[in-house]
Structure 1
Amino acid sequence: MGVKRMDDTSPAATQPEIIKAVAVTAVMMQLILSVLLKQFPDVSHRIEIGMLYNLAKFSAPAFIFAILYDVAQLRDVKYGHYVWHKAKEIIGPYLFWTTVYILTVNAGGYEQVGDVVQAFLLGTAAPHLWYTVMMFQYHLLIPLVTALALLMIRNRKKAAVAWVVSIIVYAILILLYDRYVLLDLLHPDLVYTDRIFAMYGLFALLGMGTSIYKEACLVWLDKMKWALLPIGVLLFIWVNRELFAYGFEDMNLLKSSYLKPSMVLFNMALILLLYAGATGLIRMNVRFLPAFRWIAKYAFRAYLASYFALNLTIWMMGSYVKEMPLAISIVFLLICTAILAFTMVYYIEKLCKAVMRLLRPRNHQGH
């Protein structure tokens, strides 16, 4: 790919791979809960759905953390080669699944060509596609990312200053977003500012810092992980109180935004706990570590396919979705959605490779 890694040695699965596997499950959980909210009108059910939704609301920040954790290890990046590789890896599947959603889930839902263009550019063809638009920007900024990583390594004092400035700027961004987007209905188009990479910059910095200062971070986490648990619980209570303050009859899960102060802090604590947990699994060398690596390999593509898989599952189940108890519906839909999503992307990959093998001899005739 035209890059070198600072350290290519790894166990059966790395912390970022474990976090990606957990994060893609959280994405599916959010999609499922959004659907079930319409099927279960009782207040008790809505409280359960809201709490589970908030608990799963770490997926996008966790993905950014894990991606930048890995990217921080890259050296000697050839920009054109790197971006082209990432475009094939990310934008190709994104365009494919956006087209699928436009033609299936949203068939007939676009009145103008501009609406279709917006669906591709802003990721509005499905409720989870926006993340790809935001995440790919980090790959486009790879020179800045690697320069910042080198600064963290070579000059910790300057890196500390950069961290402080970044945290202050990020706090201002989140407070402005909370005031003028989440709480101000007069500017609805501002909601698309969540596609800007900087809105998740703190999680990117956390991933890079944890990667570069890995040993120091692990020592700190070993000391602080039990303190993070009660902090996480208190933050979880906070985000739930904010969501439930809007009422239960017209509960809107969109109010549970990644980009409100309470959720940012909660996700920071939760990601650090996930990292500590992943480190514990690696230290114990549990037998199922390779499974995390396999899931992480297909996590992004399964994430793209998950909404289609969920809709297909609900279509096959019909009215049984709302006839089952809530807990059983969640578990059943999660298992079916995950199996369908990963199966689809696995066989799509095999099909693409088979087609490439058929085409390769023609392209290499005479060699």
Structure 2
Amino acid sequence: MKEECTHNGADIGDYLKLCACTAVILQTILGLALSVHPSNGIQVGIGYLYNFVKFTAPAFIFGILYTTTRTTVHGSEHLSYKQYLKNSWHNLFVPTIWWTSVYLFFLPYVQQVNHYHDLPSFIWQFINGNGAPHLWYNTMMLQFIILMPIFWAIATWCRDNQTRGWIIIGLTVIITACWLWFYDTNVFHGTHEKDWYLFDRLFLSFFIYGVFGTLAWQYRKYFNQMIQKFWWIFLLVFVGSFWWINQELISFGTPVLLTNAPYYKPSMTIYDLAMIMLIAAIALYQINRQIKFTARVHQFAGFAYKAYLSNVLWAQLIWHTFGQSLMKANTIIGIIVIYILTWCLAFASAFGIHFVWQNIKKMLSK
């Protein structure tokens, strides 16, 4: 079997990160589409489409842990935790700080739950992920960066011992099942729905995807064989779980509320894992055949996080210029046009800011 990483550096993690970013931008647009109160039929269609792309955060976490395990545990980097945090500070924390500041200072109306009114509330909005609709994810993901030694320890302890791998899988499934039961009982339409809502961005909610991403590389020989041989089973699971999550959503009736389609339920967890496996199967198919497209996937995946950070800004600018009028006139066309423009602007800004910053650094070094 060919090594899963090609000469251009593309791996399964790149495909997952790029697919997650591409899909999550659509989630932003679908939320805007519902705000113009389309017909019930279109609302249900939007709900189905929203469920279809509701794999983004799990896929991103799986992809990050997969690539990080490949490059730091078995790769050539051999980073210390201090060096890893230093690299993450520049690549992840600094962009997060800048973009969170942009939203809080220049687009304060996109804040969630509460709005800041003094310095303490500003700091609280800054760190809890309520600065914009999508920044909750940053709060959750950066926890995985800080807790990376846990996943390094899992990879090191498992090595190529299959028994230890199954032990970790079993424990992870039990922890996830208990957490989902706790969340469904107490938070999702539960007695603590309002005051415990921050639990949705606690790393435990996505722990299973981090562990499975680590093990996917650790046992890559078996993982690669499994998803290439049994991809059709994952396709059947995907279809069945997609029907399941849609039935759950429409059971709430109309108007369709996207908050009724959370990540934290068994049906969505199964759906997300099935989608991740299918994306991984497609990735391996292309990587093993050294298709040139993999080079582009690797290139764009490197800017996916920064494009994700900016997407709400571009969506808001488009929305307040002509997007809202277009969406009211024709919801379907509005979704397509605004989504394509937002995706292009998000990645263009990510590439553009990087290019400008690199040139500034060259000038300063001289």
TM-score by length of 1: 0.91
CA gap 1:228/1:159 in 2 versus in 1, 3 angstroms = closer
1:84-95 correspondence runs (5 A): 84-95=86-97
Aligned residue number for residue 361 of structure 2: 356
Q: Does 2:222 correspond to 1:220?
A: no
Structure 1 window deviating more from structure 2 (130-139 vs 8-17): it is 8-17
Q: Does 2:121 correspond to 1:124?
A: no
Aligned residue number for residue 256 of structure 1: 261
Aligned residue number for residue 364 of structure 1: none
Q: What is the rounded CA distance, in whole Å, between the counterparts of 1:255 and 1:310 in structure 2?
A: 23
Q: Does 2:85 correspond to 1:83?
A: yes
Count of aligned pairs between the two proteins: 354
Aligned residue number for residue 102 of structure 1: 104
Per the TM alignment, residue 25 of structure 1 is displaced from its structure 2 partner at its CA by: 0.7
1:110-165: CA deviation from partner (whole Å, max 9, x where unpaired): 32333311221111111111111111122212222111101221533233223212
Counterpart pick for 2:176 among 170, 180, 185: 170
Q: What is the rounded CA distance, in whole Å, between the counterparts of 2:321 and 2:286 in structure 1?
A: 37
Counterpart pick for 1:67 among 61, 64, 68: 64
Aligned residue number for residue 334 of structure 2: 329
Per the TM alignment, residue 72 of structure 1 is displaced from its structure 2 partner at its CA by: 1.6
Aligned residue number for residue 197 of structure 1: 203
Contact 2:11–2:287 (8 Å) recurs in 1? yes
Q: In the alignment, residue 238 of structure 1 is paired with which amino acid?
A: W
Q: Does 2:28 correspond to 1:10?
A: no
Contact 1:40–1:322 (8 Å) recurs in 2? no
Aligned residue number for residue 46 of structure 1: 43
Q: What is the rounded CA distance, in whole Å, between the counterparts of 1:139 and 1:318 in structure 2?
A: 36
Identity %: 29
Structure 1 window deviating more from structure 2 (322-331 vs 187-196): it is 322-331
Counterpart pick for 1:22 among 2, 19, 22: 19
Q: Does 2:16 correspond to 1:34?
A: no
CA gap 1:211/1:117 in 2 versus in 1, 3 angstroms = same
* Cα RMSD, aligned residues only: 1.9
Q: What is the rounded CA distance, in whole Å, between the counterparts of 1:8 and 1:53 in structure 2?
A: 31
Q: What is the rounded CA distance, in whole Å, between the counterparts of 1:244 and 1:331 in structure 2?
A: 23
Q: In the alignment, residue 34 of structure 1 is paired with which amino acid?
A: G
Q: Which runs of 5+ in 1 are unaligned?
A: 1-6, 362-367
Q: What is the rounded CA distance, in whole Å, between the counterparts of 2:165 and 2:324 in structure 1?
A: 56
1:81-131: CA deviation from partner (whole Å, max 9, x where unpaired): 211210121111111111111122215943233331122111111111111
Contact 1:119–1:125 (8 Å) recurs in 2? yes
Aligned residue number for residue 283 of structure 2: 278
Contact 1:97–1:304 (8 Å) recurs in 2? yes
Counterpart pick for 1:312 among 317, 326, 339: 317
Aligned residue number for residue 4 of structure 1: none
Q: What is the rounded CA distance, in whole Å, between the counterparts of 1:94 and 1:106 in structure 2?
A: 16
TM-score by length of 2: 0.91
Q: Does 2:153 correspond to 1:147?
A: yes
Per the TM alignment, residue 176 of structure 1 is displaced from its structure 2 partner at its CA by: 0.6
